[in-house]
Amino acid sequence: MTTKEKKFEYKGMMAPTFTPFNPDGSLNLAIIPRYAQLLHDGGVTGVFVNGTNGEGMSLTTAERKLVAEAWAKSRGMAGKVVIQVGGLNLRDSQELARHAVSIGASAIACLPHLYDKPGTIAELVAYCKEVASAAPEIPFLYYHIPFKTGVELPMDKFLEAASLEIPNLAGLKFTSMEVETEGYGCLKAVGGSMTVLNGFDEVMSKSRRVGFHGAIGGCLNFMPLEAGRLLCLSGIADDDGSTCCVPRLERLDEIYRLQNRINTLWDIVRKHCGCSFVSGAKFVMKSLTGVDVGPARKPQQPLSEETEKLLSDERRENNYPY
């Protein structure tokens, strides 16, 4: 593999896709082409499959392959197809990594082991190396999401150490609020050669300002136009008024407004759905786009009619969509 191939050269908005289910809980793969078209129309240029929104950890390995294949078939619309292969026993993650190569995925991403959690950078590097080496032909991204995994190791140091051991290491999905400190360190790590993608919508603007390459955020499934404008305005340097037709103060107001709109929507979902956040997010997806990705799987709880009504009422009161 050449240096260029092992890098994940990507800039833009990538949707962490919801796995569509039928009401009986079986996969609804037939809807994926329409879902991919919707993302494409909103300016989304990649998909992150079988992650948190995708409920990868609630799917069987066979189902994860089917979902990955369906997105790979829709790559004409979906753009870059990144398959999250972690959250399982190592053997299955390696099998999914090989499968990702066989279907022409753009890259794989991987969580740490969720039970035998790594306690040191060396342990995390060793684990990632096992997975990455099963798919040496394509880039490997680490999926950093400490609030879910409990693995809180410093990512800038991880990238430095992993780059010496994993030839196809290309970067990470950084799902932490620490974008201006640790996240910035990741951008500077390994001579600035790693791709760093933001994972929390709440810090989308900040992450763009410090130079993250892109965003993988749930809101990109249903409000990509607002998110795209937010990312675009946030990427304009303050001292370079000449490149932007929107005056600086107006621009800052608009950034503030757009970031707040995204945050408010997530606050509504969190308030009514708590731990069944993906159930709520899937309901929002259906309400705002008409693409029905169905219910979430347990342990996410189904939404009661009352919760659905509360979500709908608050959504409308806050003018989503415009």
Ligand X SMILES: CC(=O)N[C@@H]([C@@H](O)[C@H](O)[C@H](O)CO)[C@@H](O)CC(=O)C(=O)O
Q: Per CB under 6 A, does 294 bind ligand X?
A: no
**16: three-class secondary structure by DSSP:** strand
**48: three-class secondary structure by DSSP:** strand
Q: Which two three-digit tokens encode residue 29?
A: 């793969």
Is 145 flagged in the annotation as binding?
Answer: no
- For the beta carbon of residue 143, count every other beta carbon within 10 angstroms: 28
Smallest distance, Å, CB 53 to ligand X? 3
- The smaller minimum CB distance to ligand X, of residues 48 and 184, is found at 48
Rg of the chain on CA atoms, in Å? 19
Residues in the chain: 322
Smallest distance, Å, CB 162 to ligand X? 20
Catalytic residue at 80?
no
One residue of 8, 10, 16, 67 binding ligand X per CB under 6 A:
16
**Phi, psi of 141, rounded to the nearest 5 degrees:** -120, 135
- The smaller minimum CB distance to ligand X, of residues 113 and 160, is found at 113
Strand partners, 80: 46
Catalytic residue at 143?
yes
Instruction: Give how many residues touch ligand X by CB under 6 A.
Output: 15
- The smaller minimum CB distance to ligand X, of residues 191 and 299, is found at 299
Identify the CA nearest to 217 among candidates 32, 39, 56, 13.
13
- Catalytic residue, chosen from 10, 127, 142, 143, is 143
What is the C-alpha separation between 77 and 199, in angstroms, rounded?
Answer: 22
Smallest distance, Å, CB 30 to ligand X? 21
Residues annotated as catalytic (active site), given as ranges? 143, 173
Binding-site members are 216
Q: Which residues bind ligand X (CB under 6 A)?
A: 16, 48, 51-54, 175, 199-202, 216-218, 266
Binding-site members for pyruvate are 216
